[in-house]
Amino acid sequence: MNARSTGQVVVAKKETKQAEKPRETTVEFLASLSAVLVTGLFIITFLVQAFEIPSSSMENTLLIGDHVFVNREQFAPATHWTGSLLPYRQIRRGDIVVFLSPAEPGLYVVKRIMGIPGDRIHLRDGVVYRNGEKLDEPYVIHKTKDGYNPYRDNFPAVPPADFNSVTPEWQLLMKQHIQGDDLVVPPDSYFGMGDNRDVSYDSRYWGFIPKENVIGRPMFVYWSFETPPNQYLQKEVSERLKFLAHVVIHFFDGTRWRRTFRIVQ
């Protein structure tokens, strides 16, 4: 009898301990949720930002409909309290950057940096030369059907006056930065071009990228969806809602799953 009684007491104690396990209160749950939301909001606001690729100028590195996370801090000026915590660095040749267009205020653009301050740039028959050296660019594609374009392919040797796509401001400013056959990149500025070289509307047409216009560097594609080339031009609410419905219906078969988490480089 004593042995059985002891066994029953032990079981009772275990059940009591389980019953006494503290549960998270509503206030504690809300506090934890708030901490997560605040952390996420801080990251989205100050560290990374989501962008959608609207045009084909960076194919095949970035496709229309690619959604990327952009590192906003890497190229930002380091502060005394974050300098040792975050990997700040200067913009380098070959970096892909998101920036505010100097030609169209409020428009975000993505290009590859071809020249940093002091670099001498020119093109011959569509090939880029930097500081006298012919560049090997395995990422570049040529998809145009219009063949040879003297201004585009032999920049800056051919005057831009006869080409409507060149902004008037750049036509005037460009002359001040030409030395011999080259365009020289001034301080606090960059020369950017698209990887889809023949259709890219880039520094050849609107000039240098001011340092203060740079937003950050695309890190990776978090989602990619088959998107029409002209979708970004649709401004009417009805057209946007129509495409949103298309995304919902064709989410699984329209998503480019192979591009998910692809590193941008």
Tell me whether residue 109 is in a domain.
Answer: yes
pLDDT of residue 232: 83
Alpha-carbon separation of residue 61 from 74, 86, 98, 205 (angstroms): 20, 26, 14, 21
Low-confidence ranges of the chain (pLDDT < 70): 1-24, 26-47, 76-87, 145, 162
CA 132 to the chain's CA centroid: 29
Q: What is the pLDDT of residues 6-50, one digit of tens each?
A: 444 444 444 444 555 566 676 655 556 555 555 445 445 556 889
Tell me whether residue 126 is in a domain.
Answer: yes
Put simply, whether the predicted model's pTM sits higher than 0.85 gets the answer: no
Tell me whether residue 39 is in a domain.
Answer: no
Domain tally, the chain: 1
Tell me whether residue 76 is in a domain.
Answer: yes
pLDDT of residue 37: 53
Domain range for 86: 50-263
Tell me whether residue 211 is in a domain.
Answer: yes
How high is the mean pLDDT of the chain? 84
* E strand or H helix that includes residue 253: helix 251-254
Instruction: Locate 27 and state its tokens.
Output: 């206030």
pLDDT of residue 101: 94
Tell me whether residue 145 is in a domain.
Answer: yes
Answer left, alpha or beta for residue 261, where phi above 0 means left and psi between -120 and 50 means alpha.
left
Which residue, among 163, 178, 166, 58, has the nearest Cα to 109 in the 3D structure?
58
Tell me whether residue 21 is in a domain.
Answer: no
Tell me whether residue 7 is in a domain.
Answer: no
| 113: CATH | 2.10.109.10
3-state percent breakdown (helix, strand, coil) of the chain, nearest 5 = 30, 25, 45
Which residue, among 185, 129, 120, has the nearest Cα to 154 in the 3D structure?
129
